[in-house]
Amino acid sequence: MNNLFKLFRSVCFIAAVFSLSGCKKLLDIDPPQNERPSVVVFGSPETAKAALSGAYSGLSGTQTYSVNLTLVNALAADEIRALASSARYNALVNNTYEPITSSFTSEIWTDSYVSIYRFNSIIAGLTNNTAVEQHISRQIIAESKAMRAYCYLQLAGLFGDVPLVLSTNVQETSLQPRISVDAVYAQIIKDLTEAKTGLGEAYVSNGAVAGRMQVNRSAAAALLARAYLTTGNWQEAVNNASEVISNTSLYELLPKEQLDKIFLANSREAILQLGSALTESTAYTNEGAEFVSNQFTSSLQFTLTAGLLASFELRDLRRSAWVRDVTLNGVTAAEPYKYQNYDRESATSSGRVELPTVLRLAEMYLIRAEANAALGNTVQSIDDVNIIRKRAGLENLTAGANLQQAIEKERRVELFCERGDRWLTLKRTGRADAVLGALKPTWQSFAQLFPIPQTAIDSNPNLIQNQGYR
């Protein structure tokens, strides 16, 4: 990891910060020495807010957080098949990724730790800082802790044991070993619990980061619901999901007639969205650009798998709203179509303003259903599954249905191609070997965890590679 942090010794974190005039301007500040840059960067409420805005923008501008969390995990699971031959795609589809050659997984590692460093910088710079009003510091620190936790949720879910970096001191962190995934989740839960205390329900606009593009109390609760579900704390998963669901002043499931509007900016189903990785005014996403073919497409790149398509029931409205069937040069594909705009012109033509959606309300119902099922609260669990099914135009679950399988199926068709939900669900429920082993001749159980990038191991002798890649 030493090479990762060298980046920040030569380029100051605040290079990503917006200027006070509201323009995107790089501020030339020398690398940190004797804490002076921290005093400059966090010397006023304006610069502190600019630092937070820069951290959000830095995260959303990466390939990892704008498209690859969806693409990589969908290929590694059973959601997408690559139609174009590519060594990088094939390694993911066949789960034969390697520490040296798998650039996709390496980018997830690096992009996540770069963002963690930025949020750590904000937390350190505003802790016991008397130059910024206490209520402003509390808000910004809480958002930074929540976003740090979000990054660690990705790292823990994809790599398992990882270094837990909570400091900006390179001497302390560059040789940090991995710690147990349980300890990482403990820190995630600690960060999110503290974030909830420091956040209100209102979304606080901050320059170009406005609308639902910043963390509020409900977003922190939604992330906690995910963390508790993963760690098997069923009751707290129920409690936090219920907290979000009950916030009807901000959130509601859009009706079945508006399934195509869920991923629009400021949708009332959205709990947290990211700013565009492109520019504030593009109104399209990198996912749309990646998956949606257009008149300039020479060959189709991806299709949803036959297994996923077969999971949609006959009258499921999600199939027609979120999947587009296309044929080009004799090749047919079923494209993910949750994000419909693929460039600025298509966004202008459609009149749709789309934003990458990180958290949405339907997931909270499915988290609560799964946790209640684990607690033996069958009636409550079925009720939540049926709410999602009704919105999709489907009948209630039939009597005697296997509840665990029903919940897994609903997650599959409701949250497909949404930042790796299927991949993480198969691992969380212990179903990866059974599902992927039956589907992929190349499947090996150790592939549930991605390899630690070889560059990180070469820079830090205290890092130990995941089993299967040594």
pLDDT at 260 > cutoff 80: yes
Whether 400 maps to a domain, the answer reads: no
pLDDT-derived band of residue 281, with 50, 70 and 90 as boundaries?
low
Same-domain check for residues 170 and 316: no
pLDDT digits (tens, 9 = 90+) for 350-360: 999 999 999 99
Residues 81 and 161 occupy one common structural domain: yes
pLDDT at 170: 84
- Whether residue 454 is contained in a domain is answered as no
* Mean pLDDT, residues 10-19: 36
Q: Average pLDDT for residues 362-372, to the nearest whole number?
A: 98
Percent of the chain with pLDDT over 70: 90
Q: Is the pLDDT of residue 405 over 90?
A: yes
Are residues 98 and 183 part of one domain?
yes
How high is the pLDDT of residue 319?
98
210/338 same-domain check: no
Average pLDDT over residues 109-126: 97
Residue 440 has pLDDT above 70, yes or no: yes
Q: Which pLDDT score, from 0 to 100, does residue 93 have?
A: 96
Distance in angstroms (rounded) separating the CA atoms of residues 207 and 65: 21
Share of the chain above pLDDT 90, in %: 84
For residue 322, what pLDDT is reported? 98
**Residue 336 burial (10 A CB sphere; 0-12, 13-18, 19+):** buried
Q: Is residue 320 one of the residues assigned to a domain?
A: yes
Q: What is the pLDDT of residue 172?
A: 84
Q: Domain count of the chain?
A: 2
How far apart are the C-alpha atoms of 221 and 192, rounded to whole Å?
Answer: 7
Of residues 85 and 110, the one with the higher pLDDT is 110
Is 114 inside a domain boundary?
A: yes
Using the 3D structure, point to which of 305, 332, 350 is the last residue of a domain: 350
**206: its two tokens:** 């901050």
Q: 220 vs 29, which has greater pLDDT? A: 220
The three-state secondary structure class of 357 is: strand
Please report the pLDDT score of residue 26 as a whole number. 24
The confidence score (pLDDT) of residue 462 equals 96
How confident is the model at residue 470, as a pLDDT?
79
154 and 303 both lie in a single domain? no
Say if 29 falls within a structural domain.
Answer: yes
Is 39's pLDDT higher than 90?
A: no
Same domain, 293 and 161: no
Does 138 lie in the same domain as 6? yes
What is the mean predicted confidence (pLDDT) over 216-242?
98
Residue 134 lies inside a defined structural domain of this protein: yes
Query: What is the mean predicted confidence (pLDDT) over 452-460?
Result: 95
Q: Is residue 452 part of a domain?
A: no
* Residue 25, pLDDT score: 30
Looking at 350, 369, 399, the residue that finishes a domain is: 350
pLDDT of 30 reads 34
Kindly state the average pLDDT of the residues 448-464. Answer: 96
pLDDT at res. 278: 62
pLDDT at residue 309 tops 50: yes
Report the CATH number that the domain containing residue 66 is assigned in CATH.
Answer: 1.25.40.390
Helix, strand, coil percentages (3-state) for the chain, rounded to 5, are: 55, 5, 40
DSSP, residue by residue, 284-336: --HHHHHH---TT-SS--EEE-HHHHHHS-TT-HHHHHHEEEEEETTEEEEEE
At 366, give phi and psi (nearest 5°).
-75, -35
State residue 398's pLDDT score.
83
Average pLDDT over residues 288-298: 93
Q: Record the tokens describing residue 91, joined without a space.
A: 């390694």
Strand 302-304 and strand 80-82: the pairing is antiparallel
| Residue 467 clears pLDDT 60, i.e. is over it | yes
Instruction: Characterise 232 by phi-psi region: left (phi > 0), alpha (psi -120 to 50), beta (else).
Output: left
Residue-level pLDDT at 221: 98
In the structure, what pLDDT confidence band is assigned to residue 174 with cuts at 50, 70 and 90?
confident
DSSP assignment string, 139-153:
HHHHHHHHHHHHHHH
pLDDT band per the 50, 70, 90 thresholds, residue 84: confident
**pLDDT reading at 8 higher than 60:** no
Confidence of residue 117 (pLDDT cuts 50, 70, 90): very high
State the Cα–Cα distance between residues 367 and 407, nearest whole angstrom: 9
Average pLDDT over every residue of 12-39: 36
- Answer yes or no: is pLDDT of 239 > 90: yes
Together in a domain, 302 and 191: no
Same domain? For 88 and 180 the reply is yes
Domain boundary among 350, 381, 403: 350
Mean pLDDT (whole number) for 36-56: 83
What is the structure's pLDDT at 4? 41
Is residue 336 in a domain? yes
pLDDT (average), residues 86-92: 94
Instruction: Indicate whether 207 and 90 sit together in one domain.
Output: yes
∠ CA 356-358-361, rounded to 5°? 115
**Looking at the structure, do residues 199 and 290 belong to the same domain, yes or no?**
no
Q: What is the mean pLDDT of residues 240-256?
A: 98
Residue 325, domain extent: 286-350
Residue 173's pLDDT band, with cuts at 50, 70 and 90, is confident
79 with 164, same domain: the answer is yes
Give 150's pLDDT tier (boundaries 50, 70, 90): very high
pLDDT averaged over every residue in the chain: 90
